[in-house]
Amino acid sequence: MEINAGPMWPAHRIAGTKDMMDNAIINWFIPEKIIRGRTNIEMARIFVFTHLFGPVIAQPMAIFLYIVSPEINFPLEVMATGIYSFLTLPFVLRYTGNMVVSALLSFQGLAAISLFGTYYYGGFSSPFLPWLIVSLLLGFFYLSKKAYLVIGLFAADIMIFLGFLGWSGLPNTVPLEDLRILAWLSIVAAVVYMSWMALYYARMIALRTELEIEAERFRTTQRELEKARAVAEQINHHRSVFFSKMSHELRTPLNVIIGYSEILLEDTADIAGEDQQKIKDLGRINKAGKHLLSLVSDVLDTNTIENDAHVLDIAEFTLGELIDEVIASALPLIEKNNNRLNIECPNRNETVRTDKTKLRQMLINLMSNSGKFTNHGKVTLHLSIEKGIADDQLHAFVSDTGIGIAEDALPKLFQEYIQADASISKQYGGTGIGLAITRKLSVLLGGEVTATSKLGEGARFTIDIPAILKPDNKIETAKETTLVQTDKTQAKAA
């Protein structure tokens, strides 16, 4: 990160200071909870750095006081102890984890030591008096959100100092002329100390600028996404209108073609000889029309499910009624490839309360799929009610002995317009949408559909939905839960 600190502080100097403040020794003093925030950790680093190395730059002042003092006395001991006591504050920060407490001790400690030095070493001409202003600046720096507390404590310190000064007067510990060199040492130490703080401030300004730039980029991206979302919604609306029109425009002429072809087939059923080829052509027209109608219906049904996700026609019926209707529609599809149909239903009289039409469509889709990919094999339909403590579940599965599905292709099964293998559509036909419709319907009915298979050994598709679907308990957020159910299905399939 490049930081422009102006001509007084080139970027390489700031980078050097940053390296010093980012080393392992500095970071050791910073508690875990402070590390979580970028601004807090930067302030904690400058706090630790200045309090570890601050006494070092103040050490010449302590040595000079020792030289000019006539003896080792109480003021000298207090000043030396006060200067080196700042080394303990990084440990206070580490073991309390409280930046406010540590900063208050630093602010009050520096104010106290500067006032103490002012009292014993020169009075209002003391070289320690400027450090009182430094303490106030540090108070505002570390405790900017508690400015009134800083001002109050600082005012209290001044009042106590003036009161004590008026009561006892100034002692003459060291002659004022002997403190001139100490004044220069104090100025140099204060400049170095405040320079560290200025470097930190420059870093924070640069960091804040970068954050503002990133925030503006985020806002710009958000506006673009809002525009894209609005366009997508408009496109989706036009798409829904288009599918509604196509439902009539495509199905009507296809049904007419299929109807006329069936009429012609009935009229020419007894014709033999040379016209037999024409009968075959009519049969091909009829089959092609039905196939095209099936493909169109799949696509249009998907759109209907998406737009009418909350529309459920809940009714009560028996498993026997459901099986009879499913067999009537699915048996020709299964027998087309010379397959046998096996029905397993322990109790045909079990009652179910759900959307019969959607459940029937799910089962027909699965059985049609099994019949298409099985040749001279067996397709099994199983229906049962599993009693539970909370509620009963309708458990249904369709299994076959067909070509099976590769393990790595299972997660793709329930995605729209995608087939497990790209070569399947060429060999077996289809749109790859039947299983996607089944998954959406299962979610709509409050359940899920899963698949297990081994390549060359057949496949098994399982449906689990509530046996009693109440209107007030139906899935109102089916569109939102679709992604969740997809993840669960893929996880189980894998």
Q: In 3-state terms, what secondary structure has residue 399?
A: strand
Cα–Cα dist 167/35, whole Å = 48
Indicate the Cα dihedral angle 200, 204, 207, 211, nearest 10°: 170
Q: What is the pLDDT of residues 67-103, one digit of tens each?
A: 777 777 888 888 888 888 888 888 988 888 888 888 8
> Taking 70 as the threshold, does the pLDDT of residue 166 lie above it?
yes
Identify which of 409, 370, 387, 238 has the alpha carbon closest to the alpha carbon of residue 307: 238
Identify which of 62, 187, 194 has the alpha carbon closest to the alpha carbon of residue 136: 194
Cα–Cα dist 418/429, whole Å = 12
pLDDT recorded at residue 47: 82
Please name the fold of domain 309-493: Heat Shock Protein 90 (3.30.565)
> Taking 60 as the threshold, does the pLDDT of residue 246 lie above it?
yes
Query: CA angle, 445 as apex, 443 and 448 as ends, to 5°?
Result: 40
Which run of H or E residues covers position 79?
helix 74-85
Q: What is the DSSP string of 18-64?
A: HHHHTSHHHHHTS-HHHHTSHHHHHHHHHHHHHHHHHHHHHHHHHHH
What type of residue is 141?
A: F
Q: What is the pLDDT of residues 191-223, one digit of tens each?
A: 777 777 777 667 667 766 777 788 888 888 888
Which run of H or E residues covers position 436?
helix 434-444
Identify which of 325, 418, 335 has the alpha carbon closest to the alpha carbon of residue 363: 325
Q: Which of 275-284, 411-420, 484-493 is least confident?
A: 484-493
Residue that wins the pLDDT comparison between 64 and 270: 64
Q: What is the pLDDT of residues 321-354, one digit of tens each?
A: 999 988 888 888 888 888 999 999 988 999 999 9
Q: Choose from 162-166, 181-185, 213-217, 362-366 the range with maximum mean pLDDT.
A: 362-366
Indicate the Cα dihedral angle 69, 70, 75, 81, nearest 10°: 60
> Taking 90 as the threshold, does the pLDDT of residue 397 lie above it?
yes
Q: Percentages helix, strand, coil for the chain, rounded to the nearest 5? A: 70, 10, 20
Query: Which pair of structure tokens corresponds to residue 84?
Result: 């080196």
Q: What is the pLDDT of residues 403-461, one digit of tens each?
A: 888 888 887 777 765 555 555 544 555 555 778 888 888 888 889 999 998 888 899 99
Q: What is the pLDDT of residues 136-148, one digit of tens each?
A: 888 888 888 888 8
In terms of Cβ atoms closer than 10 Å to its own Cβ (0-12, 13-18, 19+), residue 383 is: buried
Kindly indicate the confidence band of residue 161, based on its pLDDT and cuts at 50, 70 and 90: confident
Q: Which of 138-152, 226-240, 281-295, 359-373 is least confident?
A: 281-295
Query: Which pair of structure tokens corresponds to residue 164?
Result: 């004590």
- Contacts of residue 257, defined as CB under 8 A and 6 or more positions apart, other chains included, come to 285, 289
Which run of H or E residues covers position 420?
none
Give pTM, 2 decimals.
0.44
Kindly indicate the confidence band of residue 19, based on its pLDDT and cuts at 50, 70 and 90: very low
Q: Is 328 in contact with 320 (CB distance < 8 Å)? A: no
- Contacts of residue 16, defined as CB under 8 A and 6 or more positions apart, other chains included, come to none
The domain limits of the chain are: 1-307, 309-493
> Taking 70 as the threshold, does the pLDDT of residue 231 lie above it?
yes
Kindly indicate the confidence band of residue 300, based on its pLDDT and cuts at 50, 70 and 90: low
